[in-house]
């Protein structure tokens, strides 16, 4: 028996589209289902100024196939040299939605990120003043901190002090991966939300390491123990409006993943909605899927919920191609290792 579920058209509040041939290949995978997405600025070189964001936005719109409707919500990459006035002007013009904070060295192309948080204080004060959100990659990079502890330590050492110093700043903790991340959001009513990825609802660290190393499950923040995955599933399916979808779909070509030093990132744009419907159904929370994918994010960002809808149907398991081709090489699609009965029609 087939069932259907109609929800407002979803948005992706954390997405990597890259540039050039990869952009052209992955953009339709998102635009097919999602109306808007927060576009990550970690290109080489990064999207730092309003002018950079305008040029990148044009490249995205030029790569959008005719007949597809999609709005990229641009972000600026915060550096210690970022000019608060440039940020404010880019926000006021409607070009840029938020600023992204990468601690230097935390992840892919984060070398230009922040080392000394005092040096970005004027930008953060300006953002608090104008109501512009900050998207935070929440991991410390100190060599002596175990990679599985980097998010929890970041909350104590960096995020909490930063929020106390700039209480009016609206912050999104991006791609939370831990019980501590969930608890921190829940214990802070004001100005704080969190995105959760599709893949962190599905995999724990065993998926990466047991039975041979699985580079396509390696991302940052790295997947944690099972108890953390369960905490994320509880948060995502709870209906709490502070948690919303940010896929962090992060394409890298196979040679860059399947390498002695493989890149971090899971590519989930194509099958995210099938996976999420399966997860929410497993949790008895299909009625809360729309909140997570389509309603909580716009509420946090002060944007309207889409008036368009998408419909999912339940039937025989969907078959997705294992890879998509790009002009730069194949990109492997995230394998959820379970039958996916729901598909967007």
Asked whether position 16 contacts ligand DOR by CB under 6 A, the answer is yes
Q: How far is the CB of 220 from ligand DOR (least distance, A)?
A: 4
Choose between 193 and 265: whose C-beta lies nearer to ligand DOR. Answer: 265
Measured from each CB, the residue nearest to Zn ion is 248
Q: How far is the CB of 335 from Zn ion (least distance, A)?
A: 19
List 11, 29, 248, 278, residue binding Zn ion (CB under 5 A): 248
Asked whether position 137 contacts ligand DOR by CB under 6 A, the answer is yes
- Any bridge partners for residue 166, and if so which? none
What does 220 interact with, of ligand DOR, Zn ion, none (CB < 5 to 8 A by kind)?
ligand DOR
| Token representation of residue 296 | 């909580």
Q: How far is the CB of 69 from ligand DOR (least distance, A)?
A: 25
SS (H, E, C) the chain: CCEEEEEECCEEEEECCCCHHHHHHHHHHHHCCCCEEEECCCCCCCCCCHHHHHHHHHHHHHHCCCCCCCEEEEEEECCCCCCHHHHHHHHHCCCEEEEEECECCCCCCCCCCECCHHHHHHHHHHHHHHCCCEEECCCCCCCCCCHHHHHHHHHHHHHHHHHHHCCCCCEEECCCCCHHHHHHHHCCCCCEEEEECCHHHCCCHHHHHCCCCCHHHCCCCCCCCHHHHHHHHHHHCCCCCCEEECCCECCCCHHHHCCCCCCCCEECCCCHHHHHHHHHHHCCCHHHHHHHHHHHHHHHHCCCCCCCEEEEEECCCCCCCCEEEECCEEEEECCCCCCCCEEEC
List 38, 96, 152, 220, residue binding ligand DOR (CB under 6 A): 220
Catalytic residue among 248, 287, 325, 328: 248
Binding residues among 116-155 for Zn ion as defined by CB under 5 A: none
* Residue 11 known to be catalytic: no
Choose between 43 and 286: whose C-beta lies nearer to ligand DOR. Answer: 43
Choose between 151 and 248: whose C-beta lies nearer to Zn ion. Answer: 248
Choose between 251 and 291: whose C-beta lies nearer to ligand DOR. Answer: 251
# chain residues binding ligand DOR, by CB under 6 A:
12
Asked whether position 107 contacts ligand DOR by CB under 6 A, the answer is yes
Q: What is the CA radius of gyration of the chain?
A: 19
List 265, 291, 297, 298, residue binding ligand DOR (CB under 6 A): 265
Choose between 217 and 244: whose C-beta lies nearer to ligand DOR. Answer: 217
Q: How far is the CB of 266 from ligand DOR (least distance, A)?
A: 7
Binding residues among 301-340 for ligand DOR as defined by CB under 6 A: none
List 64, 264, 303, 305, residue binding ligand DOR (CB under 6 A): 264
Binding residues among 18-57 for ligand DOR as defined by CB under 6 A: 42
- Could you tell me if 10 and 291 are in contact, meaning their C-beta atoms sit under 8 angstroms apart? no
**Strand pairing class (309-314; 3-8):** antiparallel
- Could you tell me if 318 and 14 are in contact, meaning their C-beta atoms sit under 8 angstroms apart? no
Q: How far is the CB of 108 from Zn ion (least distance, A)?
A: 8
Choose between 82 and 195: whose C-beta lies nearer to ligand DOR. Answer: 195
Q: How far is the CB of 16 from Zn ion (least distance, A)?
A: 6
Binding site for ligand DOR (CB under 6 A): 16, 42, 107-108, 137, 219-220, 248, 250, 263-265
Binding site for Zn ion (CB under 5 A): 248
Catalytic residue positions, numbered: 248
């Amino acid at each position: 028996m087939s069932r259907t579920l109609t929800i407002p058209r979803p948005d992706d509040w954390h997405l990597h589209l890259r540039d050039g041939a990869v952009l052209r290949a992955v953009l339709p995978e998102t635009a097919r289902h999602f109306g808007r997405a927060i576009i990550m600025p970690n290109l080489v070189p990064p999207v730092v100024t309003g002018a950079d964001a305008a040029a990148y936005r044009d490249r995205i719109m030029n790569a959008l196939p005719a007949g597809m409707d999609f709005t990229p919500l641009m972000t600026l990459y915060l550096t210690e040299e970022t000019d608060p006035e440039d940020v404010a002007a880019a926000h006021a013009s409607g070009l840029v939605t938020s600023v992204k904070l990468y601690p230097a060295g935390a992840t892919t192309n984060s070398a230009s990120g922040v080392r000394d948080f005092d040096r970005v204080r004027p930008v953060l004060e300006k953002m608090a003043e104008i109501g512009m959100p900050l998207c935070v990659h929440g991991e410390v990079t100190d060599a002596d901190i175990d990679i599985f502890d980097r998010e929890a330590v970041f909350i104590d050492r960096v995020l909490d002090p930063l929020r106390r110093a700039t209480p009016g700043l609206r912050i999104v903790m991006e791609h939370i991966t831990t019980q501590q991340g969930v608890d921190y959001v829940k214990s802070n009513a004001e100005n704080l939300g969190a995105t959760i990825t599709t893949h962190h609802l599905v995999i724990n660290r065993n998926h990466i390491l047991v039975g041979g190393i699985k580079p396509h499950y390696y991302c940052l923040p790295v997947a944690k123990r099972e108890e953390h995955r369960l905490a994320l599933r509880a948060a995502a399916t709870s209906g709490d409006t502070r948690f919303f979808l940010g896929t962090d779909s992060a394409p890298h070509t196979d040679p860059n993943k399947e390498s002695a030093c493989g890149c971090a990132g899971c590519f989930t744009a194509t099958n995210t909605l099938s996976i999420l419907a399966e997860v929410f159904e497993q949790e008895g929370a299909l009625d809360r899927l729309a909140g997570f994918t389509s309603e909580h994010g716009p509420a946090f960002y002060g944007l309207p919920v889409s008036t368009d809808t998408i419909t999912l149907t339940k039937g025989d398991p969907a078959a997705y191609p294992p890879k998509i081709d790009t002009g730069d090489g194949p990109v492997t699609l995230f394998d959820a290792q379970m039958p996916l009965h729901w598909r967007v029609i």
